Amino acid sequence: MSLPSLPPLSWRLAVHDELPSTQDLILAAAAAGEPEGLAVLARRQSAGRGTQGRPWHSPTGNLFLSVLLRPQAPARSLPFWSLLSVVALADALAPFLPDPSRLSVKWPNDLLLGGAKCAGILTQGQPDMAGGIAWVIPGIGVNLAEAPALPDRPTASLAQEGITPPEPVVFAWALLESLAHWRNRLLTEGFPPLREAWMARGPRLDTPLSLRQPQGELSGLYRGLTEEGRLLLCNNSGLVAVASGEVAG
């Protein structure tokens, strides 16, 4: 049985010397009805942000990119797009490393290099009135040239590893190609291939994890991802499927 095919995604990359936030520009474009495929790159950001509203330090030489997707998919698949973004990012970054196995992912969408954070992704999505997806916007920051310090975890960059980092626009095009590839796979093949790719770069099964949530900390042994993209932990309560939170460390 042949899988359905999709028309190619045509990217439109806009490059700015400086913006407050690439995410804000794409959000405004989505609200104004901009078609899928817009990508905005800033060489510097004055008000970049990560998850939970944390400031994202944005020095020149790193990647700051947000993209607009309008997938024809049910709203219940929105969690998949965070996982997709980090898998696509890992695939795009791997060819620039002498040892791609040093890349790993932390649920749901941090990318680690040698166990230290080298990239983060803020994915925002909006359901439509028909139960589908109106838009998905991944905002992606990658430490290519510099690894800004964080108070609660180690950070890494390609330059810190002794690797000559790619120019941000050059890397952006590699990342956009990878995002288009995984977008098409998710829409034509469903979640299983993406789940497998994420788990291949994720923690080893039975790794102890602690998850920070508004109601407190949840700990357990990692048991993979559910078919809905939730994190599976095993603890004294049995198997727990977690939809949101932040893995500590």
Domain check: are 220 and 124 in the same one?
Answer: no
Q: What would the mean pLDDT of 210-220 be, rounded to a whole number?
A: 83
Type of residue numbered 176: L
Query: What is the extent of the structural domain holding 225?
Result: 208-247
- What's the CATH code of the domain at 165? 3.30.930.10
Q: How far apart are CA 31 and CA 126, in angstroms?
A: 10
Domain check: are 156 and 228 in the same one?
Answer: no
Output the pLDDT for position 52: 55
Q: What would the mean pLDDT of 157-185 be, rounded to a whole number?
A: 96
Residue 7 covered by a domain: no
Output the pLDDT for position 20: 93
Domain check: are 70 and 47 in the same one?
Answer: yes
Q: What is the pTM of this model?
A: 0.93
Q: How confident is the model at residue 59 (pLDDT cuts 50, 70, 90)?
A: confident
Domain check: are 73 and 170 in the same one?
Answer: yes
Residue 230 covered by a domain: yes
Output the pLDDT for position 2: 45
Residue 235 covered by a domain: yes
Domain check: are 57 and 118 in the same one?
Answer: yes
The CA-atom distances, in angstroms, between 157 and each of 3, 114, 141, 161, 166 are 38, 10, 11, 6, 12
Q: How confident is the model at residue 244 (pLDDT cuts 50, 70, 90)?
A: confident
Residue 6 covered by a domain: no
Residue 3 covered by a domain: no
Domain check: are 238 and 194 in the same one?
Answer: no
How close are the terminal C-alpha atoms of the chain, in Å? 44
- What's the CATH code of the domain at 232? 2.30.30
Q: Which of 180, 201, 222 is the last residue of a domain?
A: 201
Q: How confident is the model at residue 151 (pLDDT cuts 50, 70, 90)?
A: confident
Q: Domain total for the chain?
A: 2
DSSP string covering 70-135, please?
A: --SSBGGGHHHHHHHHHHHHHHHHGGGSS-GGGEEEETTTEEEETTEEEEEEEEEEEE-TTSBEEE
In whole numbers, what is the pLDDT of the chain averaged over residues? 91
- Farthest-apart Cα atoms in the chain, separation: 52
Domain check: are 242 and 187 in the same one?
Answer: no
Q: How far apart are CA 129 and CA 41, in angstroms?
A: 30
Residue 83 covered by a domain: yes
Residue 184 covered by a domain: yes
Output the pLDDT for position 236: 87
Residue 59 covered by a domain: yes
Output the pLDDT for position 7: 72
Question: What token pair was written down for 163?
Answer: 């690797």
Is 70 exceeded by the pLDDT of residue 25?
A: yes
Residues 77-111 have pLDDT tens digits of: 999 999 999 999 999 999 999 999 999 999 888 99
Is 80 exceeded by the pLDDT of residue 49?
A: no
Q: How confident is the model at residue 214 (pLDDT cuts 50, 70, 90)?
A: confident
Q: Which of 185, 201, 217 is the last residue of a domain?
A: 201
Domain check: are 120 and 222 in the same one?
Answer: no
Residues 101-141 have pLDDT tens digits of: 999 999 888 999 999 999 999 999 999 999 999 999 999 99
Write 93-96 long-range contacts (CB < 8 A, 24+).
93/119, 93/142, 93/171, 95/174, 96/158, 96/163, 96/165, 96/166, 96/171
Domain check: are 105 and 160 in the same one?
Answer: yes
Output the pLDDT for position 1: 39
Domain check: are 128 and 216 in the same one?
Answer: no
Q: What would the mean pLDDT of 205-227 be, rounded to a whole number?
A: 89
